Amino acid sequence: MRTLRPVLAVVVLAVAVAFSLAGGAGRGSGATDCPPSTGRLFCTTTTVTPSPVSASVDGVTAYVKLDLVVANEGGSTLTNGVVTVDLDDNVDGALQGSSSADFVGASPSSCTDVGGPNQTVVCSLPNLAARKTTAVALVYRTSETPLVDATVANVTVAVKEKRNDGSQTDPNPDTHTFPETINYEPCQDCSYAWAPTDKSVILSTTPDGNTWGSFSLTNRGGGVLTTLDETSVASSADHCTTGKTCFGQLIHAQASTVTLGTGELFAWQTTWSFDVVAKGISDKNVVIVHTLDNGDVEVISKRCSAEPPTAADVAGAGCLVPSIGGTKKAKTLIVHWYATHNGFGRGG
């Protein structure tokens, strides 16, 4: 197994790629919710990683992690604790009453996938002593619903304290429900995901008149954040190398602390409109300029003998498979490229 640490990036003739840890907080992420003051004294802190995250549409396969920490703020043990999470997709500002997200896994293992239109998951909590906390982590493949804006996770935490519940006149509520919003990024030039263990992640940006593409990996280690961004560059010399003329947008892919299995690779597909391809560059001579973390520069020019490539293909800097796509009036230059090294990259 190889553990790759930030920064990871590759340069394709005018495209740069870099890998590092990144995250963000959407509405409610990291917020704490408590029942009314007349209820049991427990509170729940929820965090969405990452937020925003990409919906699994238009070639994307993305995941999101929902962390819940339940804290007993009272002076006696809480028993029979249960967390229930229901999902509801929001499309054009309207809740759909169901979700196309998919439950992947949880910690602890006491969580049960009930399923149904709201992808219900129920988790049993251990007895919680006074001033103690317990944590639940849920991982989902994000919604596949077209034009989805967000998925609302309706979280219900229920606890029972026998001493208080013995009286039928007990006014204290033991159940508290609150929403946590999983926002989906609306950015055409970016794609974000949590990368759970042993799940294939595909980040993809929207085709436009400049540069677009995808970044694929299967993480064999603990879950990490992964991102793909495309940004403008100041000049053709940015993230380039002597003797090369780079073109298109800067591609910045982040995969911090990703662990690849033996023989596994990072895979990119980058597409440029011929309107931005440097003069004289075609599928015959395009390369990827790859700047490693230590400042050394590799030029990925070797053509892969097959897809997926062989071990010999990717020995050293890596390999690529270029082609011409698009239409006669709107041609594109397409490069599939494969590597295992951290660094920055751009096409040239």
Which tens digits make up the pLDDT trace of 99-132?
A: 999 999 999 888 999 999 999 999 999 999 999 9
Q: 89 pairs with which residues across the strands?
A: 151
3 state DSSP class of 10 = coil
> 297: burial class by Cβ within 10 Å (0-12, 13-18, 19+)?
middle
**pLDDT bucket at 1, cuts 50 / 70 / 90:** very low
Q: Is the pLDDT reported for residue 288 higher than 50? A: yes
Contacts with 296 (C-beta within 8 Å, 6 or more apart), sequence order: none
**What average pLDDT does the structure give for the chain?**
85
pLDDT per position as a tens digit, 10-66: 333 333 333 332 333 333 578 898 887 666 688 999 999 998 999 999 999 999 999
Beta bridge partners of 122: 84, 112
332-343 average pLDDT score: 85
pTM for the whole thing?
A: 0.87
Count CB-CB contacts under 10 A for residue 160: 14
pLDDT at 284: 96
Q: What is the pLDDT of residue 183?
A: 96
Q: What is the pLDDT of residues 216-255, one digit of tens each?
A: 999 999 999 999 999 898 888 888 888 888 888 988 888 8
Can you give the pLDDT at residue 344?
67
* CA proximity to 164, closest of 44, 74, 82: 74
State the pLDDT at residue 11.
36
Classify residue 87 as exposed, middle or buried by CB count within 10 Å of its CB (0-12, 13-18, 19+): buried
What pLDDT is stored for residue 240 in this prediction?
Answer: 87
142/2: higher pLDDT = 142
